[in-house]
Structure 1
Amino acid sequence: MTVTIPTMTRRQTVARAVGVTKLYGKGEAQVAALRSVDVEFAAGEFTAIMGPSGSGKSTLMHTMAGLDTLTEGEVFIGDARVSDMSDKELTLLRRTRIGFIFQQFNLLPTLTAQENILLPLSIAGRKPSKDWFDRVVGTVGLAERLGHRPTELSGGQQQRVACARALVSQPEVIFADEPTGNLDSVSGTEVLEFLRDSVRSLGQTVVMVTHDPRAASYADRVVFLADGRIVTELSEPTADAVIDTMRSLDGRTGAA
């Protein structure tokens, strides 16, 4: 297998990790989830992160998003050094510059779809741009469902509400952790198409952790981890190419 070393992109870098190491435990029980990882994510690009179970892919996303601390190294969102931030500064960063989509939809059952979408802005005391809100809702295809509560929506529609919620604050980057993991194939395709369209039509930057080669094929680029290290990447991936690469990584062991 040819190893590709991450290089500087010509486009603006929205998020980057420099020499990131994450250790859990101490002494003989110590486990290295990430080992001196260097990676960059460019503006207006859809990147998937893949690897065998225990490769460190979720840990990488969580450290990039300021949800987990580092043992060594630095993480930047734009020009902001995340690894030096206080809890208060991290909360503000996540509220204003980062969007999140998780496997669990995390919608409030008592709120309508529109109220769930606008919740982060309401918490931050910000008013949405009507033009941007309408554009996001149009892209996600929920204009006719804004008055419905989560129990009145399908799983795919609920995840699209979660996607719209992540987009409405116009974050610099959206981190998505297995966003189709709880969806059937049809609903999962709808969400993946939306994420791809949000990059192409709205200029969003998306970084997605997934174990699904078909989901990864919607990305512009796939970064592969094994044993806590980036070992290769693919541009303009196909599902077959992702499957072949994953097969080459099978059998490796590491820490999650």
Structure 2
Amino acid sequence: MVGRDRAAVRAIGLERIFGIGEAQVAALDGCSLELAQGEFTAIMGPSGSGKSTLLHCLAGLDRQSSGTVLLGETDLAELSDNQLSDLRRDRIGFVFQSFNLIPTLTARENITLPADIGRRAVDEQRFAEIVAAIGMEDRLEHFPSQLSGGQQQRIACARALVTRPEVIFADEPTGNLDSRASQSILDFLRRSVDVHGQTVVMVTHDPLAASRCDRVVFLVDGRMVDELRDPTAEQILEWMRTSVETWGR
């Protein structure tokens, strides 16, 4: 696997505090982990464990209260808001559970949006490869309202990958989809790692989805507490069952 000996993203002692005074809640509490290049990683844990907060901090969509996030050798805390916006556009792809497509743009225009915003030419070969991989060649001129949920999510995945970002983050990308559409999205993300050497980080609650990954890291109370390599769905389910006994969740 390409680059597995190098970290694509590192989190060091991350804290993310919401609220003030007695209403304070620590979504992340000293969370540290490394995510290897060219690897498909799932982030799992009980409800309220900080999974989505961690993903948003790693992707520069939210700023941690303290600690460090490094994308390669870039410290996200040292960037201005404009620099952080440029970094998200040029070096990061993000797939949202809710698709986040622009309703007035066609599927083609939604896919090319990051390149268009950055005023960069679209790599037409890359575009054609991605569109073929998601099986959407005949739907490119359709608007999101004319597409099924699974088709919209495939467009969202293509948008996240078209500019060859260093890391693709996906927050419950199959959460709103049926099993067939979910399998299509997971196949696409798996292929992006195996064929194109991408780095993919996915938050999921689904053991079957997580079993498609190279690694699963588990969060409890805002900290990484364990991991599995080359996991099976049965191993993940067993960890989840045991975690209820261990942490009272």
Instruction: Please tell me the TM-score bracket, short chain as reference.
Output: over 0.9
1:1-256 pair list within 5 angstroms: 11-250=5-244, 252=247
Paired with 1:116 and 1:243, the residues of 2 have a C-alpha distance of 36
Q: Does the 8 A contact of 1:97 with 1:171 survive in 2?
A: yes
What is the SS of the residue equivalent to 1:144? helix
Task: Give 2:152's aligned amino acid.
Answer: Q
1:90: how far off? 0.7
Between 1:139-148 and 1:57-66, the stretch displaced more is 139-148
Q: Deviations over 1:143-202 (max 9, x none)?
A: 222122222222111100000000001100011000011101111111111111111111
**Structure 2 contact 38–197 (Cα < 8 Å) conserved:** yes
Question: Helix, strand or coil: the match of 2:195?
Answer: helix
Classify the secondary structure of the residue corresponding to 1:203: coil
Q: Percent identity?
A: 57
Structure 2: distance between partners of 1:124 and 1:19 = 33
Q: Given that residues 153 and 185 in structure 2 are in contact (C-alpha distance below 8 angstroms), is that contact kept between their aligned partners in structure 1?
A: yes
1-structure distance, mates of 2:215, 2:70: 20
CA, structure 1 residues 110+25, in 2 after alignment: closer, same or farther (shift >3 Å)?
Answer: closer
Which range is displaced more, 24-33 or 62-71? 24-33
CA–CA distance in structure 1, aligned partners of residues 17 and 101 of structure 2: 32
Deviation (angstroms), 1:27: 3.0
CA contact (8 A) 2:4 2:38 kept: no
| Secondary structure of 2:85's aligned partner | helix
**SS in structure 2 at match of 1:222:** strand
Give the Cα–Cα distance (whole angstroms) in 2 for the partners of residues 128 and 51 of structure 1.
38
Query: Alpha-carbon deviation of 1:253?
Result: 6.8
Secondary structure of the residue aligned to 1:165 is helix
User: Which consecutive residues of structure 2, in runs of 5 or more, have no partner in the other structure?
Assistant: none
Q: Distance in 1 between matches of 2:113 and 2:20?
A: 40
TM-score, normalising length: structure 2: 0.94
Structure 1 residue 22 displacement after superposition: 1.4
How many angstroms apart in 2 are the aligned matches of 1:154 and 1:10?
Answer: 36
Task: Note the residue ranges of structure 1 that are not aligned, 5 or more in a row.
Answer: 1-8
Q: TM-score, normalised by structure 1?
A: 0.92
> Alpha-carbon deviation of 1:70?
1.4
Give the 3 Å change call, closer, same or farther, for CA 124–253 of structure 1 in structure 2.
farther
2: CA distance, partners of 1:112 / 1:238: 38
The 8 Å contact of residues 4 and 37 in structure 2, kept in 1 or not, is answered as no
Deviation at 1:10, TM superposition (A): 5.1
Amino acid in structure 1 at the alignment position of 2:70? F
